[in-house]
Chains A and B, each alone.
Chain A
Amino acid sequence: EPEVTQTPSHQVTQMGQEVILRCVPISNHLYFYWYRQILGQKVEFLVSFYNNEISEKSEIFDDQFSVERPDGSNFTLKIRSTKLEDSAMYFCASWQNTGELFFGEGSRLTVL
């Protein structure tokens, strides 16, 4: 069964440090997403990416966030200067047009 893979599974960082979360979407998918889930809360949309550009982003996705697909396979989320409130589970997802949005297993980010 196809799957979305994410690395790292857990990252601990100091406030103010840059973090890059990596995702390998399903190979023939064209739409990619990042979602965030603060502990105990609902899953929130951050950004969608299609045709090598951002197609939609939420209010959460401010200037400290960026996404890119540097090599045609990886899809990364960068947080330039992490804050305590960035601590969350970050989910990557990809979609083809078949209806099911495939989520990765998530990357847990802890900012100290």
Chain B
Amino acid sequence: AQKVTQAQTEISVVEKEDVTLDCVYETRDTTYYLFWYKQPPSGELVFLIRRNSFDEQNEISGRYSWNFQKSTSSFNFTITASQVVDSAVYFCALSEARGYSTLTFGKGTMLLVSP
């Protein structure tokens, strides 16, 4: 069975601070995908990244970066120089690497960025 744990329920930061959202996962699969989604107050789910378990290179996209550590089963997400618009709930998710695999989501971390 797959499981995703986001231990941080809520994080509050002041604008321009860096913040890291933690994600720890469990799976018996040797190949899998990891995802991060953003859910702003308006409610939609916004795709941020998908990472294949074979690819352990860290990735950077603008102010966002992801640190995948297979040895510790973690896929952490860092926002550099946070902005008020980053305020949202962030979900980490896991899926098997097969044709129509479903996503198992963590409970989410609510990030509040104040001016």
Contacts and interface: CB of A to CB of B under 8 A. Distances in A.
Interface stretch (B19-27, B44-52, B58-66, B77-85): B44-52
Interface string A64-104: 00000000000000000000000001010001010111111
Given A42-B107, A106-B43, A97 B99 contact: yes
Q: Is the interface of B mostly helix, strand, loop or mixed?
A: loop
Interface string B27-69: 0000001010100001111010010000000000000000000
A95 B100 contact: yes
A43 B107 CA distance: 8
Interface residues of A, number: 25
A104 B104 CA distance: 17
Nearest to B6: A42
Given A43-B45, A43-B91, A103-B47, A48 B105 contact: no
Given A41-B107, A44-B105, A45-B104, A103 B99 contact: no
Nearest to B104: A45
B107 to A, nearest CB: 5
8 contacts: A42-B108, A48-B100, A56-B102, A91-B45, A103-B44, A103-B45, A105-B42, A108-B43
Interface of B: 33, 35, 37, 42-45, 47, 50, 91, 93, 99-100, 102-108
Given A42-B106, A99-B50, A105-B44, 9 more contacts: A35-B103, A42-B91, A42-B107, A42-B108, A50-B100, A100-B47, A101-B47, A104-B44, A106-B44
